[in-house]
Structure 1
């Protein structure tokens, strides 16, 4: 995030005081892509993605547990598919180079399978915890997730 702020600040200052630095727009775009995917991974790990829980919360405890396990299985399946598809897409785009930096786009697209693999790991951990936890210890988010200090 600090690199993104520094790059955008350099872009603004260079446009106002000098001639614009050409690579700043591209770098800031690539940094925003990486921040988005890694932020989504962090939100997944902390159980902060948008969820409609009122239906599940209305169920008995046993069915809540089954619904949580089913949701984690669906999420895990999706993330594994995203790892495979993201890896394939990364290799398909490997010949492409960025416009100003001439950087291989493999490095930019690598965040897709990386973030999906991390989310798969978190989903697997949550699934194992949901399977071994006693039925009375149901939680709607990650069991060990802590909030960052305010």
Structure 2
């Protein structure tokens, strides 16, 4: 049974690493694109007439980068946390407190998936002002990132229950 659970955790960690390898370059390319678009906006305003779509693209890129980078930060345990009370608990209570906290996070992410998806549907008729892009694509980042964070929380819960230790990626560097 222990071998089966360890192979399951190994598979889940592999999926996490795969998601990480997809998200990191997307965030990097998004940042590079954001810098390029803002530079174009500044240069066009100073030297020529302003390029109208740059402000809209910059705004949409910033929204997507924020959610995607927040997902990476969550996966690495880099969000702000006050852990002194939990860290002071004895082993089993500390593990139980962490599992409860992750269950709350999981419930919140599932709620965010549902709300984000409904919001996408409600706003699907709306088009962006300059690009005439369906706002569904802009709002899709919310349920997508919530689903990825829910996955990460679920893996952490399983790891805590099976191994009885903190998640494997709590101290990984950005």
What's the TM-score once normalised by structure 1's chain length?
Answer: 0.92
* Structure 2 residue matching 1:56: 3-state secondary structure: helix
What is the distance in 2 between the residues matched to 1:46 and 1:76? Answer: 16
Q: Equivalent residue for 1:24? A: 54
Q: Equivalent residue for 1:76? A: 106
Corresponding position: 1:143 with 2:168: yes
Q: Equivalent residue for 1:40? A: 70
Query: How far has the Cα of 1:144 moved from its partner?
Result: 3.5
What is the distance in 2 between the residues matched to 1:144 and 1:10? Answer: 38
The residue correspondences of 1:100-139 to structure 2 (distance < 5 A) are 100-134=130-164, 138-139=165-166
Q: Equivalent residue for 2:25? A: none
What is the distance in 2 between the residues matched to 1:144 and 1:38? Answer: 17
What is the distance in 2 between the residues matched to 1:123 and 1:56? Answer: 17
What is the distance in 2 between the residues matched to 1:122 and 1:69? Answer: 13
Query: How far has the Cα of 1:58 moved from its partner?
Result: 1.1
What is the distance in 2 between the residues matched to 1:21 and 1:144? Answer: 43
Structure with greater helix share of residues: 2
Query: How far has the Cα of 1:62 moved from its partner?
Result: 1.0
* Structure 1 runs of 4+ with >3 Å offset: none
CA RMSD in angstroms comes to: 1.0
Query: How far has the Cα of 1:12 moved from its partner?
Result: 0.3
What's the TM-score once normalised by structure 2's chain length?
Answer: 0.80
Q: Equivalent residue for 2:79? A: 49
Gaps of 5+ in 2: 1-30
Q: Equivalent residue for 2:12? A: none
